[in-house]
Structure 1
Amino acid sequence: MTTFAREETLPRVPLPTLEASCERFLAWCAPLLTADERAATEAEVAAFLRPGGPGRVLHAALEEYDATAGVHSWLDTFWPYRYLGRRDRIALNANFFFLFQDAGPDEPQSQVARAAGLIAGAVGYKRQLDQDLVPPVVQRGQAQSMVQNAYLFSTTRIPGAQQDTVRSPYGDEWPGPSDARHIVVFHRGAMFRMEVLGADGDPHSLDDLEAGLHAVLKAGAQPPAPDTSVGHLTTMARAEWAAARESLRTRHPGNAAALDDIETALFCVCLEDFAPADVQDACDQLLYGDRGNRWFDKAVSLIVFADGRAGINVEHCELDGTTILGFTDALLSTPAEEHSRRSGARSQGLPAVEPLVFELDDALRAQVRSAADAFAAYGAATATRTVSFDDFGSTTAKALGASPDAFVQLAYQLAHQRAKGHLGATYESIATRQYRYGRTEAMRVVTPEIQEFVAAMEDPAASADTRRAAFHAAAAQHVTRAKECQTGQAPEQHLWELELIQRRRGAELGVTEQPALFRTPGWLKMRDDYLSTSSAPSVHIQYFGFGSTSSRCIGVAYVLLPDRFHLYLSTPLPVADQMHTFADRLREALTELRELLSSGPSAN
C-alpha cells in the first residue's frame, strides 16, 4: 500500500449537528461556572438555537461548504485561520520541539557525525516519500491520514500582513515532491546552502556530508557582523516580519535569491557552538534558543549541539505531533549507515557549500537588533521546568486498573487544585487522523466527575473506598469523552468555526453581529486555559515541549511510555511559582494515587 493511496477513501470528518454541539458545550463548560453564569450561558445558547436564529443560519452555511466539490472537510477553512491567522510571534508561542534520545554507545557521538546521520536519515525518508514507499500508518485497525507528510520537506511559512501563507511542494505552483537538492545549515548566526543530493539526485554519502559540515564549521568559525543574522527576524510578530521580509527581499536581488534558497531548502540544520548545561537547558534551547541560529518559519529544523545531543523544532501550521513522531521514529530507529545505504547514497566528493549573505541597510540592521533583543527578553520572561518519573509509566497505570492518559490527567487536576486552590479550564489535544485530512480535536478535561474526585481527595473524612470510586468514575468519564473527541463529537471547533463564518460572511448571511453565545461566561471560561496538555509517546524522544497559551497557563507536554513519564512545563515568569508548586504537587499526587489504587480493588 503506497503512502497516500488511502487518502481519498478515508471517511470525512463528521460534522456534528448544531443541537449536539450546543448540548455538549453546555455540559463541558458547566463545571467551571457559577449558577448565574450557567443560566446566562444557557439563555444565549437557546437564542443561538432558536428557529431562524444565528446558529441555524451559520450552521446551514457550514453544511453547504462541507458539501462543496473539492472540500475535504468542514475544517478546511478553520485550520488555516487557526494557525496562519495568528498575528503574534510563532517562535516559542506556536512551534514545538522534541529532544531526541542521546546517541547510543555504538552510534556517532560527535556533533558533525550526529548531524550527518540525521541528514542522511531525513534524506532517506524523503526519497521513500517521493516514491510513495512510506507505509501508511494504521492504528487499531484504522488507516490514518498521511497528507501531512507532504509538508515535511521544502515547506516554509511565509509571513503576511493579514494572514500567513505556506510555500510547499505537492501544490499547483509546485506539483509533485520537492526537487530541491539542498538544505540550509546554520552556525553561529551565519547561514550556508549545502547540497545533500548530487546532480543526478543520488544522496551524498555520510563521509561527504561530514566533510560538508566541517566546511560549514570552518567557514562559520568567525560569527557574522553584529546585527546581520537575519534569522532573528523570524521571531517577530507576523505582520511586522511580513513588512521586514518585503524590505529584505526588495533591498537587493541577492536577498531575494537567498530567501528562495532558505524557503525551498529541504529542511534546516542548526549547529550550535555550545553544549547545554543539562537536559532542561537542552529543552529550552530547542524551544526558543536563538542567537540568529534558527529560521522559525521552516517546517523542520534539526538542531545539534556541540556535544552531539540533538532535537527538532517544528513549525506547527501544517504538521502535528503525530506526524513528527512518525518521522522521528523513522529517523532514529535505524542506524545512519543503513539509512545511507537504503537511500542509494554514494561518495560524490565535498558537497557544494555556499554562504547565504544578505545585503542590509541601517533600518534592517536595526530591525535585526530589535528582534534579537525582544525575543531574548521574551524567552527570559518564560519559566520552564522538566519533571521526570522513571519509576512510573503506562504499564504502572494499567496494572492499577486505569487508562494511562486518564491517570495522568486526573493527577494534573489534583495537582492544580493543590497548587492554585481551584480547578481551571484544561485543554487536551486528541488526534483525529483516521479522517480525511484529519488533524486534532480539542478536548476539555474538567468534568463533574473530576470535580467530585478532587473533592473526595481533598476531604479528610473521605474513606479510601470513596476516593477510589471517585477516581474510577472520573477516569471512566475521561475515557468516554476522549472517545467522543476521537470520533469528531466535540463542540469547540464546530462552534468556533461558526463564529469565524460570521466574521467572514456575516453581512452576506444576514448575521451582522457576533452571536452573544461567544461572549458568554461559558464560552470564555471553557477556552481560558489554566492547563494546556498534549502527549507525544515515543521511545526515541526524551522530552516534548511547547510554550504556554495564556498569561496564567501552564503548558504540559508529556512523554508517557510503559516505563517512564517525562514532562516539560512552561508558563509566563510572573506565575512561575505556581508552575513549580504544580510540579511538586504532581509528584505527590502521583505517589498518592498509586498508593490509593494499589490498596484496593480496581475498576475492572
Structure 2
Amino acid sequence: MPPTPKTPVDSTAAGPMLRYQKNLPKLPVPPLSDTLRKYLKSVHPLLTEEEYKRTEQAVKEFEAPGGLGQELQKRLVARAKDPSVVNWMEEWWNDQAYMGYRDPVVIYVSYFFAYKDDKFRKLPAQRAAAITTAALEFKKQVVDNTLEPEYAKGEPLCMDSYKYMFNNCRIAKKPSDEAAIFDPHQNTHIIAIRKNKFYFVDTVYNGKQLSTKELEQQFQRVIDQAGGLKGIPVGVLTSENRDVWTDVRQALLKANPRNKQVIDKIETASFVVCLDDSSPKYRDDLCRACWHGDGRNRYFDKPVQFIVFDNGKAGFIGEHSCMDGTATCRLNEYVCDGLNRNLIKHGSEQIRGNIPHPEELSFVLNKDLEHAIQAAETHFDDLIARHEMTVLAYQSFGKNLIKKFRSSPDGFVQMAIQLAYYKCFGVSRPTYESAQTRKFQRGRTETARTVTDESVAFVKAMEDPTLPNEKKIALLRAALKAQGQYMASAVNAHGVDRHLFGLKNCLKSGEPVPAIFRDPAYAYSSHWYLSTSQLTSEHFDGYGWGQVVNDGFGCAYMIKNNALQFNIASVKDLEVHGKKYVRGTYQFKQCLEEACDDLRDLLMTELPAQAKL
C-alpha cells in the first residue's frame, strides 16, 4: 500500500498518478545569507588560504545591504511568486543545461542501463517482444494516469516528467532544441531498427494490442527483412553536434517529401527497439554497447530506446533533456522485474493471421546527405575512440553490511569515491552528486557537493598508517554527517548551485557581473572532476553515462543488497592539471576497489562479533 502523505489530494486530477500534482509545493528560493554561508563552507576545502580570502571578500560584497546580490534575490523571489511560473528554474535550466547544449547528446547527455540476462529468452526477437509488452503495459498506466506516484519519506514526488517518456522526441533546432509530445492514442506504433534500417511496427491490429507472441513474429520479420546488408546509417546523424544535425535535418526534410513522412513516424513513435547485430559477451562490452553502440543502429533523440543484441542480451539508452533517470529507472525496473517474476500479461499464444508485415521506412538521399552521414560516422567514431568505460562489480559487500556499520549506504559509497580519488591523485577535487528535487512541482535536481572539510580530513587520515582506527572512524563519521546534512538540504532545494544559477540569470543586460561570479573559485568549485549519481536495481548489470568535464570521471553506482557496482567513464590518456594518466579509468577503478576494501576493514574493527556473521 502507498503511504498516506500530508499533501492534499486534488479531486479534479486526471487520474491517480496526478492526484497530488497541483498541491505539491513550488520550488523555493532559499535565503541569500544561507546559500552564501553554505557556498563559502563548500569552497573552503578546495582553495588555498589566499584564494579563500578573495572568495570571502567577493561574497561579502555580493551580500552587502543595497548591493546587487540583494537586488538579484528580490528579482528571483518575485519570479518564484509569479502565478504564471510553475517552477522558477525550469525554463532556464532546460534551455541552458540541455536544449541549448550543442555538443552531441550521446556521451554528453544520454545515459544507459544494461540488463542482466533473461535465462528464458535467449533469442533476440523473443526478448525484444517481452520487453515491448512490458513497456506497453507501463505506457498504458502513464497514458491513463493510473500509475501510482513515487514517494520519498512518505511524501509524493512530481510526476510531470512522465509525459515526456512515450511518444516524445527531442527536435534539433537553433539556437535551442525543442521537446515534441505526440498523441499516444493516435500513435500506437513503435520503431524497430535493424542493420541501420528503420521499420514501422504498429502494436495494435484490429483494435487489439499485439500479444508477445505476435510481437515476436514482427521482430523476427524485421530481422529477416533487414537481411545481411547494412543500410545507409541515417540514425548516426542524431549523434552529431546539435547545430550540424539541425542543418542536416532541414536538408533531409527538403530533399524529398517522403523523408518528412519517415521522420514523422520515427519522432511520433511510442519508443524505439534497436535490434543490434552485435553480441557483447562481457560486462564492459555490454555497457559500452548500451552507452553508444556503433552509433548507426540508433536514433539518439528518442528518450526511450530499448536495445536487444543478437545473443539475447539487452539494455536501454535514454535521452536526458526532459526526464531524469529516476523516472526511466522505474520504467526499466518495471520491465525487468515484471518479466523476471512473471507479472506481465503476454496475451494469447495464438498468432492472428494477416497481421501486416513491418514497413521499412526508407529515406531518399542525395550526395550532400550521404556526405553528411559519412562525416557524422567519422565524428562519432573519433568521439568514441577518445573515451574509456569500465565497470567495477564489487562483490565483497553491499547495503546489508553497510547498514550494520550504522552508515547511510549512499554516504558510505560517496566517501569510498572520495578516498579512491585521493588515492589516485593525492588531492580532493569538486564532486557532484545528484540530489532530486521532485518533491516540488516540476522539480528536477540539485547538486549535493560532496567535498567538505570533514571529507578531506577523513581521506588524509585514511592514507596515514600512523593514525589509530578509532581516529579514522571518528573522522569518517564526521564526513558522513556532513555529507548527509548537505544532501538533506539539497533535496529540499536549499543547495548552493541552483540558487546561484538563478541569481546569475536574474542579471539584466548591461549590468556588471558581480565579483562572486567572476571569482575563479566559482568556476572551479563547479568543475565536476567527479560526476556521481546512484540508481539501483537488482536486475541491472550496468548503469552509467559519460564524464561532464574532460579531466574528470563519470562515476555512476548501484548499491545492491550484497554488492556494489561502479561504472567509470573518462577520456583516454586522462590529463589532470598537466599530468597525464594513461588508462586513468582503470587506475581509478583499482583505487575504488582498494577504497571499498579499506572502509570495510576499518569498520569491521568496531562491529560486534555476532554482527559479522
Q: Could you state the TM-score of these two structures normalised by the residue count of structure 2?
A: 0.92
1:102 and 1:38 map into 2 onto residues whose CA distance is: 51
The 1:216–1:455 alpha-carbon spacing in structure 2 relative to 1, beyond 3 Å, is same
Residue deviations 1:172-200 (CA, integer Å, cap 9, x gap): xx5xx452111111111111111112252
Distance in 2 separating the partners of 1:445 and 1:178:
44
Query: Deviation digits for residues 274-293 of structure 1, max 9, x if unmatched?
Result: 21031111100111113410
Q: 1:577 to 1:335 in 2, by over 3 A?
A: closer
Partner of 2:480: 475
Of residues 83, 92, 100, the one that matches 1:85 is 100
User: Residues 318, 346 of structure 1: CA spacing in aligned structure 2 closer, same or farther, 3 A cutoff?
Assistant: farther
**Structure 1 residue aligned with 2:59:** 45
**Bigger relative contact order, structure 1 or 2 (CA pairs below 8 A, ≥6 apart):** 1
Q: Note if 1:229 corresponds to 2:240.
A: no
Size of the aligned set, in residue pairs, is 586
Which residue does the alignment assign to 2:415?
Answer: 410
* Contact 1:205–1:348 under 8 Å retained in 2: no
Q: Which runs of 5+ in 2 are unaligned?
A: 1-14, 575-581, 609-613
SS at match of 1:333: helix
Q: Secondary structure at the match of 1:482?
A: helix
Q: Are 2:275 and 1:268 equivalent residues in the alignment? A: no
Cα distance in 2 between the residues matched to 1:70 and 1:342 = 46
Q: Secondary structure at the match of 2:506?
A: helix
Residue 382 in structure 1 maps to residue 382 in structure 2: no
2:190 pairs with 1:183:
yes
In the superposition, the TM-score normalised over structure 1's length comes to 0.93
* Per-residue deviation, 1:150: 1.2
Letter in 2 for 1:276: P
SS for the counterpart of 1:193 is strand
1:22 equivalent in structure 2: 36
Please tell me whether the aligned partners of residues 201 and 218 of structure 2 are also in contact (alpha carbons under 8 angstroms).
yes
Q: Which residue of 1 aligns with 2:118?
A: 103
Instruction: Tell me if 1:69 matches 2:74.
Output: no
3-state SS of paired residue (2:112) = strand
Do residues 212 (structure 1) and 211 (structure 2) align? no
1:500 corresponds, among 500, 505, 513, to: 505
CA–CA distance in structure 2, aligned partners of residues 529 and 338 of structure 1: 41
- Superposed CA deviations along residues 52-105 of structure 1, whole A, max 9, x for unmatched, are 33322322222222122232212222331211111111111110000012113x
> % of aligned pairs identical?
29
2: distance between equivalents of 1:70 and 1:108? 50
Match of 1:290 among 282, 289, 294: 294
Separation of aligned partners in 1, 2:347 and 2:358? 25
Distance 2:289 2:144 in 1: 35
> Which whole-Å CA distance do the structure 2 matches of 1:461 and 1:418 have between them?
17
Deviation at 1:128, TM superposition (A): 1.9
Structure 1 Cα separation of the partners of residues 398 and 219 of structure 2: 39
Give CA deviations for 1:424-445 in whole Å, capped at 9, x if unaligned: 1110001222222122111110
Displacement of 1:346: 8.3
- How far residue 592 of structure 1 moved from its aligned partner, in angstroms, is 1.4
Q: After TM superposition, give the deviation of residue 239 of structure 1 in Å.
A: 0.9
**Shift of residue 339 of structure 1?**
2.9
Contact 1:417 1:423 in 2 (8 A): yes
Give 1:7's aligned residue.
Answer: 21
- Name the CA distance, whole Å, in 2 between partners of 1:535 and 1:87: 26
Aligned match for 1:56, one of 70, 73, 92: 70
- The residue identity in structure 2 corresponding to 1:210 is E
Distance 2:513 2:357 in 1: 56
Report the AA paired with residue 598 of structure 1: M
What is the correspondence of 1:429-508 to structure 2 with a 5 Å cutoff?
Answer: 429-502=434-507, 506-507=508-509
Kept after mapping to 1: 8 A contact 2:283/2:541: no
- 3-state DSSP of counterpart to 2:338: coil
Equivalent AA in structure 1 for residue 412 of structure 2: F
Structure 1 position 330 matched with structure 2 position 334: yes
Deviation at 1:519, TM superposition (A): 2.2
1:144 corresponds in structure 2 to 157
Two-structure CA RMSD over aligned residues (Å): 2.0
8 A Cα contact 2:211 2:348, kept in partner: no
- Counting only pairs closer than 5 Å after superposition, residues 107-256 of structure 1 correspond to structure 2 as 107-169=120-182, 177-200=184-207, 202-225=208-231, 228-256=232-260
Q: Deviations over 1:242-300 (max 9, x none)?
A: 11111111111001111101100000000011210311111001111134100000010
Q: Which residue of 2 aligns with 1:555?
A: 554
